[in-house]
């Protein structure tokens, strides 16, 4: 099912819904959506524990679903929305998929791709900090609960 929205903030809110599913399943609460022509064509959340797969990050699952939707490995007209800055693996996947835009909420100082230089496609536009406080709060709550 596709959903028509029109702003980065609205799409990050949809990614946050996915992140909350991860939270409920005791997965690191990161969610992602892929948008094409103002329509969400893929949604995903972290499932590394559920699938016992270290590559089952929200972004990876969303990119795979989007590629299946469009019938092409290249997502040149798509935007990836994700609640937390992509890791190196996910940034590399967006580069290989030639994703046009990457929009994320919270920065990830420990594992985010920016620590390692420019890993996205050279023509990719990056927007950061969209609903960062909400995205960070969900991550803080998750890890505080883990420490108890």
pLDDT tens across 54-88, in order?
999 999 999 999 999 999 999 999 999 999 999 99
Enumerate residue ranges in the chain where pLDDT < 70: 1-6
Annotated binding-site positions for Zn(2+): 57, 87, 90
Domain 8-143: CATH superfamily, name plus number: Cytidine Deaminase, domain 2 (3.40.140.10)
Name the pTM for this structure. Answer: 0.92
* Domain residue spans of the chain: 8-143
pLDDT of residue 1: 42
pLDDT of residue 109: 79
Instruction: Say how far apart CA 20 and CA 72 lie, in whole Å.
Output: 29
Known catalytic residues are 59
pLDDT of residue 2: 46
pLDDT of residue 5: 46
Distances (CA, A) of 141 to 46, 83, 90, 137: 16, 14, 23, 6
First to last CA, the chain: 38
pLDDT of residue 6: 60
Instruction: Name the residue among 20, 27, 24 with its Cα closest to residue 46.
Output: 27
């Amino acid at each position: 099912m596709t959903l028509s929205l029109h702003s980065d903030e609205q799409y990050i809110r949809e990614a946050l819904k996915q992140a909350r599913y991860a939270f409920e399943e005791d997965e690191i609460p990161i969610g992602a959506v892929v948008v094409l022509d103002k329509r969400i064509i893929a949604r995903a959340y972290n499932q590394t524990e559920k699938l016992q797969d270290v590559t089952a990050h929200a972004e990876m699952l969303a990119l795979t679903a989007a590629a299946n939707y469009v019938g092409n490995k290249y997502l040149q007209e798509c935007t990836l929305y994700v609640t937390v800055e992509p890791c190196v693996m996910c940034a590399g996947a967006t580069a290989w998929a030639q994703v046009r835009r990457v929009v994320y909420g919270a920065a990830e100082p420990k594992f985010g791709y920016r620590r390692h230089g420019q890993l996205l496609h050279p023509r990719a536009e990056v927007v950061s900090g969209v609903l960062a406080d909400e995205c960070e709060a969900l991550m803080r709550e998750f890890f505080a609960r883990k420490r108890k």
